[in-house]
A and B are shown apart, each in its own frame.
Chain A
Amino acid sequence: MRRYSAFAIAREAARYHQGWERAWASPEPKRAYDVIIVGAGGHGLATAFYLGKNFGITNVAVIEKGWLGGGNTGRNTTIIRSNYLQDPSAAIYEKARSLYETMSQDLNYNVMFSPRGVLMLAQTEHEVRGYTRTAHANALQGVKTEFVGPERVKEIVPIINIDGPRYPVLGALWQARAGTARHDAVAWGYARACSDMGMDIIQKCEVTGVNTENGAVTGVETTRGTIGCKKLGVVVAGHSSVLAEMAGFRLPMESVALQALVSEPIKPCMDCVVMANTVHGYMSQSDKGEMVIGGGTDGYNNYTQRGSFHHIEETVRALVETFPMISRLKMLRQWGGIVDVTGDRSPIISKAPVEGMFFNCGWGTGGFKAIPGSGWGFAELMARGYSPLTAEFGLNRFREGRFIDESVAAGVAH
């Protein structure tokens, strides 16, 4: 793999950039692999990457129905934070956050991780207590956060309205080392690194069936033929239930639409991410200058990647109230993705009821931030059969009633 650098760009510039090679290969599928990962989104590609990097497993295919990074990886609001309440969540998200810090260098691909800080507003006394609790939990989890007062909030985000008549800002949970990254680049960077390790990334290849023998997985049927494998990792946010059904079981989840929108680009006016859970909305500014806005999920099962407009209205209302200046910005584009939401709204990273088959799903509305941690842990689970990062996220927790409930501290978990 040719390294990317300013020097490489200068060298290529001299010949009109005719010499750049492909970022990733586009091979035909082989007959079999040691490991097949279904789903070339961030989580799937990260899993493949750490299988290779941490465990030397490189006879890997990542197969993708559409184009890599085209699912929720490419349609989220790119928030990265780890200020979660429950230990298992804090562990995996903090691992992810720390991997994001060095991802550009690790992958030699600038994913533009921008540790600009995330503020989660407390706008009721109840929320103040909730975030104070999170701050105490974080202190013991090795996650650096603090609860700050309204004046400090105003200092960090001057465009905020801290004394709205209905929900004045009473404070916020501040994670200075949280931030955003360029979502597409995360998928592309991992894809390039995986391809460089000799892994096959096979796009436009849809899985149509799961092959098993004696209760153990042997491979998958795809639109490009049968592909064998010893282990199968399914990382297909939104469509996890569909894959589970192919393998003959149900998952504790429902697929619903999550919408987001961006404004037209403006000059920098906001240097961090703000999440307002009481009024239900969050906002940051992309490097391009667009205000990136999201809210809660739609209510019904939906596979269309479209949502209902009143949710957009709700979100925009919330943010106009929180940031009055955006009233005179314009919505440039709205879109939706399909997220799979589990019984406790925390992910499932688990062995499946079929031997050799593993599921990584249920990230709901907040999967992007977890990508490297999820890949790291899932790779370990697939390679070794156990990972401390994923141990608590098993499927068995629903039967036991052992939930990982983050809504405890905040209604929305993005």
Chain B
Amino acid sequence: MLILECPNCGVMADETELSAGGEAHLKRFGPGSSDEEFEGYLFHRANPKGVHFERWRHANGCGKWFHAARCTNTLEVFATYTAQTSTVPDTVIAAIKAKRPDWSHET
């Protein structure tokens, strides 16, 4: 039963208030993209056993989306941050590296 801090309203939100939205920072490919790009965008998921950047919505709360950096193997939450970014903020990367020095961010 996870608990995540919603960066929009500042509430430590219980999982029952949240809905998960899968991998974050996907780059949308629309008309004109190649089959490969489009397939990658729509289906290929990082699905790491470890640090995962993911989307959450504070659905039964403020209604806002946010991003979380979370370990799928220990469920540790390194940071939650705004959904209005297409890249992982440096502060989030630093927060992860502080806990997991061996981890490197693949883009």
Q: Which residues of A contact B (CB under 8 A)?
A: 239, 241-242, 245, 250-255, 299-304, 308-310, 340, 343, 398-399
Contact = CB atoms under 8 A, between A and B. Distances in A.
Contacts of A309: 1
A362 to B, nearest CB: 11
A299 B20 contact: yes
Contacts of A308: 1-2, 15
Contact of A251 (B19, B36, B44, B49): B44
A245 B74 CA distance: 20
A248 B20 CA distance: 27
Contacts of A340: 47
Given A303-B73, A308-B2, A255 B43 contact: no
A241 B36 contact: no
Contact of A250 (B19, B46, B70, B75): B46
A99 to B, nearest CB: 31
Q: How large is the interface on B (under 10, 10 to 19, 20 to 34, 35 or more residues)?
A: 20 to 34
A299 B72 CA distance: 12
B40 interface: yes
Given A308-B1, A343-B43, A303 B49 contact: yes
Contacts of B42: 343, 398
Contacts of B36: 399
Nearest to A244: B47
A250 B44 contact: yes
Interface in B25-41: 35-36, 38-40
Given A241-B48, A303-B72, A252 B43 contact: yes
A241 B47 contact: yes
A404 B52 CA distance: 28
Contacts of A251: 44-45, 47
B7 interface: no
A301 B75 contact: no
12 contacts: A239-B49, A250-B40, A250-B45, A251-B44, A253-B47, A254-B22, A301-B20, A301-B47, A304-B72, A340-B47, A398-B39, A399-B35
Contacts of A255: 47, 49, 72
Do most interface residues of chain A lie in helix, strand or loop, or is the interface mixed? mixed
A255 B46 CA distance: 10
B5 interface: no
B77 to A, nearest CB: 11
A402 to B, nearest CB: 12
A324 to B, nearest CB: 25
A340 B49 CA distance: 12
Contacts of B72: 255, 301-304
A236 B52 CA distance: 20
B87 interface: no
B85 interface: no
B75 A302 contact: yes
B45 A252 contact: yes
Given A252-B44, A253-B47, 6 more contacts: A250-B44, A301-B20, A301-B47, A301-B54, A304-B73, A399-B36
Pick from B2, B22, B39 the residue with the most CB of A within 10 Å.
B39
**Closest 9 interchain pairs by CB?**
A252-B43, A241-B47, A250-B44, A299-B20, A300-B20, A399-B39, A343-B43, A308-B1, A398-B43
Pick from A241, A252, A253, A301 the residue with the most CB of B within 10 Å.
A301
A343 B72 CA distance: 19
A386 B54 CA distance: 37
Nearest to B44: A250
Given A299-B19, A399-B35, A254 B2 contact: no
Contacts of B19: 299
B85 to A, nearest CB: 20
A314 to B, nearest CB: 10
A339 to B, nearest CB: 12
Nearest to A255: B47
Contacts of A301: 20, 22, 47, 52, 54, 72
